[in-house]
Structure 1
């Protein structure tokens, strides 16, 4: 076949198709927004011989789910007098309306399965949460810690805690300027914070500061952590190989700006590899045509 042997052509095939595998977009294995984080159920159940509480609760859930198609936070009441039930839902600030609805629509059944007919309940998923309280339920402080989880891997002495704390400082300021939601990354540390939708900017800042302090104390040098207070939550993760690109149908401006450099790098690599694949295809096509012409001349 002239100056190129068949084994070399085979090598070109391998080279081109291995590059193609690199440039074909691979869907990110994003954590399912509807995965359960924790549940909080009051110990006391309500007596409901006439079904009035059940009707009010069902109406409340229906209203919350309906509103989740157009809002990421909604708070309302159902019933009247002693049978009044107040409730709310909130979605993570970077979820689209459709993703928010998908998340919230799963909560009523989960609340019933996990807590039954308790006088108050809260179920937190990764992407959203819902809570309700029957009239007269004792209120708790917005700073009270409801749940925490810390990664099992510790990396003390690597400079990680300094980078995480710098990211936390940016987060504390960003949540206030972002009116309740902010996410960013700093030197391989990804942080996210959110306050309940009816909390003012000043109180949100105080709540976030408390959540950050809890994360520092409770999780120490853990590679990741989540702290849920009554009125806000914070989460962080350390990625030694770089914070992965996050794809969402509705990104916050802070998240988009913080990940823009990474996505631009990926685009550049894809363009280079795509060009190499294109050249490879051209070479193979020409060699194939040359081979056909040679066989034709041999006859």
Structure 2
């Protein structure tokens, strides 16, 4: 009497082992967020002379404070140094970012400021998910309505009632950003919009700033399918999806998918696939075991 192995069940068993080892390999990868992509830089033309390193120390202390606060809040403004070496700075993250995403974004800003602007009297670094600015005491102030940067989509939507639809959506955005105290996203008939004001701007001034940004978008971008307008104290972005928002990201706003949001869809999809594959593999494994046991019993019976 002896036990024998049928080649077919054994081959299926090996196939299962190989298949299960590839489950993780084919788990869908989550696309990287673009929150830390540079939108624009603003650097003062004048640099500070710092033979004793006083300005550098004050600026470094400012950066450290701002980055540490980004783990807790989405907006923070502070001042370091004394007298002529006083430096005022702030950071702000987009309102839909989580604390970890905010920190991940803000922590990149000091290095970028040094790399892109050097030791200038003032600098502003704007990423898709956050921005940081600082000004040395005495630096000339600019209006909160000053336009710093704009970009308009290369595709135009003409003759389809798009501009009327977009303008209605803009009106919803203007009121929404006030009632929601500085940050608002909305979707009106396939027009997706986002607006945000600097954290220390009051509701009324925020509404005026966003209204000004909207007017700039209407003039500067015309019938463009998308646009972004950055003023000193606020910014807006819009995107029109006539065929529906893309499914690749859970956030259809232009350049505003946070990693927490975008990875949510990717991870859920991946988990669903993994569950389906895992369930199928488990059933297959059970069938293989039953076949194997049946083969063993049949062989045992034949031996008798």
Q: Does TM, normalized by the shorter one, top 0.5?
A: yes
Aligned equivalents of 2:92, 2:30: Cα separation in 1: 24
Aligned equivalents of 2:121, 2:90: Cα separation in 1: 15
Residue 97 (1) aligns with residue 102 (2): no
Counterparts in 2 of 1:26 and 1:158: CA distance versus 1, 3 Å:
farther
Structure 1 counterpart of 2:4: none
Residue 141 (1) aligns with residue 143 (2): yes
Structure 1 runs (4+) deviating above 2 angstroms are 24-31, 240-251
Aligned equivalents of 1:81, 1:33: Cα separation in 2: 36
Residue 242 (1) aligns with residue 245 (2): yes
Instruction: List runs of 5+ in structure 1 lacking aligned partners.
Output: 1-23, 252-262
Instruction: List runs of 5+ in structure 2 lacking aligned partners.
Output: 1-25, 252-256
TM-score, structure 2 normalization: 0.74
Structure 1 counterpart of 2:5: none
After superposition, where does 1:179-190 map in structure 2 within 5 Å?
Answer: 179-190=181-192
Q: Secondary structure at the match of 2:135?
A: strand
CA shift, 1:168, in A, is 1.1
Aligned equivalents of 1:249, 1:188: Cα separation in 2: 23
Aligned equivalents of 2:144, 2:171: Cα separation in 1: 21
Aligned equivalents of 2:100, 2:230: Cα separation in 1: 24
CA shift, 1:219, in A, is 0.5
After superposition, where does 1:106-255 map in structure 2 within 5 Å?
Answer: 106-239=108-241, 240-242=243-245, 245-246=250-251, 248=258
Aligned equivalents of 2:125, 2:158: Cα separation in 1: 33
Larger Rg: 2
Q: Secondary structure at the match of 1:59?
A: helix
Q: Secondary structure at the match of 1:213?
A: helix
Counterparts in 2 of 1:228 and 1:248: CA distance versus 1, 3 Å:
closer
Aligned equivalents of 2:189, 2:32: Cα separation in 1: 21
Give the structure, 1 or 2, with the largest relative contact order (CA under 8 Å, sep 6 or more): 2
Q: Secondary structure at the match of 2:96?
A: coil
TM-score, structure 1 normalization: 0.76
Aligned positions, number: 263
